[in-house]
Structure 1
Amino acid sequence: MPLILIRHGESEANFANYWTGWLDVNLTEKGREQAMLAGKKISEAGYQIDLAFESVLKRSILTAELILEQNNASAVPEFKTWRLNERHYGDLVGKNKAKMTAEYGAEQVEKWRRGYDEVPPQVKINHFDRRYNNLDPRLIPKGESLHQTEQRVIPLWQDEIVPELKAGKTVLVVGHGNSLRSLIRYIEEVPPLEVNQIDIPNATAMIYDFDQQMKITHKKIM
């Protein structure tokens, strides 16, 4: 029951070093190349993807499309969900990380980036487009800790992804640094205080095999 977790390829925000959160930015050319290479590696390793889960942000969607194309799997079902969105960085969105480090100090910035319960300064009003029109406004955050991000990711895992894995399907999940970090913390049972040690590089496939009790039997990174 293979699960393939992968963070999107390099985005314009990764390149410019600013917080993105739910801001919708594109892949760089390097990011597109990374996604295609990841898809090629997955195919060469013998994995045939049966379906994909993505966030509703285009850096995730485009990465998934490029991986599926390289896997000869462009026709498989794709499920786009806000639950895989990057952590909402509140009022930090759009701000340069180096400048924020100079202003608030490296320790505080590290807490915002990697802490489990640290909530960033919240925005007063979200300015989102129609992709969230059908989502209960009470579910839309104005800033999230990693713990809060995990609380929206885990229902997707339990209700949507696990049943597909138990049905014997190879599942691709293309998310973001923190939505994947929260999922990995949960499935690997990493203590919250050690979550900052989970590193999620761009476009690097993390492949898990599970038994019928959903216990990890094997993990590899490529």
Structure 2
Amino acid sequence: MPAPGTLILLRHGQSVLNAQDRFTGLLNPSLSSIGEDEAARAGALLTSASFSPDTLYTSTLTRTRDTARIVLKVLDAPDVPVRAAWELNERSYGSLTGRARSEMLSELGPEVFRFWRRSYYGAPPPMSRTALGAIRRSRAFAGLPPEALLPTESLCGVVKRVRIFWHQHLRPRILAGENVLVIGHGNSLRALCLVLDRLSHAEVEELNIPTGHPLQYRFDPGLVPLVRGGEYLNPLAARTAAALVAAAGGT
């Protein structure tokens, strides 16, 4: 039986709505110029680590797919299969979608704001039918099942879909010795870390994953991470970036 493969998690580069400090959720913006640079630097870190993915998974949203395109160009690996999975999409932020975080903090107050944004079970009020319909017409959601586009969602809901995806798709590939790169979002990757590291609700509520920083997981034969929490390929820069995310209120 082969040794387990390596899994690397990468949050997409900064999007234009990230740059405006808005709740992006299921909206489908492109990368900002900073995000494009972050994706290129991530590709360079993967090259320096001699990481060659056998399979690459993204969400169905443009910002992860464009990050993948840039990373593979830097790796000079045009033949790596790229598989888009809605289970890796960002959380639905409901009525907060597209709103400026600073405005919502002022409007809601810190306790409600944190409960809706960071708690395990909290979900914002649902978005309107009009807003949901506009998102449904996006190419990113064409042909997807109804459960791929919810009017609102808690982190708990994201964990449920990501856990199924881990067992059905990622786990078998890693057990077979494949090296897998997953390019996702702040919340879908937090959910995957919860599954991998068996994080408590309190731990995952405090977890922040910065854009553009590859996080590496190596496993024992039972697929238990050798290092709980994984290892960033550039740990100092990643810690600094994660601290900035935390200071801004979290992923």
Do they superpose with TM above 0.5? Answer: yes
SS at match of 1:198: coil
SS at match of 1:210: coil
1:111 to 90, 110, 115: 115
Amino acid at match of 2:96: L
> How far did 1:132 drift?
2.8
**What is the aligned residue count?**
222
Listed as ranges, the matches of 1:117-156 within 5 Å are: 117-125=121-129, 126=132, 127=134, 128-129=136-137, 130-156=139-165
Contact 2:60-2:141 at 8 Å conserved across structures: no
Structure 1 residue aligned with 2:65? 61
> How far did 1:41 drift?
0.6
SS at match of 2:40: helix
Does 1:74 find its partner at 2:78?
yes
Structure 1 residue aligned with 2:52? 48
Distance 2:178 2:43 in 1: 17
SS at match of 1:21: coil
Structure 2 residue aligned with 1:20? 24
How far does the alpha carbon of each residue in 1:166-196 deviate from its partner, in whole angstroms, 9 at most, with x for none?
Answer: 1111100000000000110111011012212
Identity, in percent, stands at 34
Higher mean C-alpha deviation, range 10-19 or range 128-137:
128-137
SS at match of 2:226: strand
> How far did 1:158 drift?
0.7
Does 1:191 find its partner at 2:195?
no
Structure 1 residue aligned with 2:221? 212
Amino acid at match of 1:86: E
SS at match of 2:153: coil
Distance 1:112 1:91 in 2: 11
Higher mean C-alpha deviation, range 208-217 or range 135-144:
135-144
> How far did 1:165 drift?
0.8
Give the aligned CA root-mean-square deviation in angstroms: 1.3
Unaligned residue ranges in structure 2 (runs of 5+) = 234-251
Q: From the superposition, tell whether residues 143 and 50 of structure 1 become closer, same or farther in structure 2 (CA, over 3 Å).
A: same
Distance 2:117 2:158 in 1: 13
How far does the alpha carbon of each residue in 1:94-118 deviate from its partner, in whole angstroms, 9 at most, with x for none?
Answer: 1000000000012221222211000
> How far did 1:22 drift?
0.6
Unaligned residue ranges in structure 1 (runs of 5+) = none
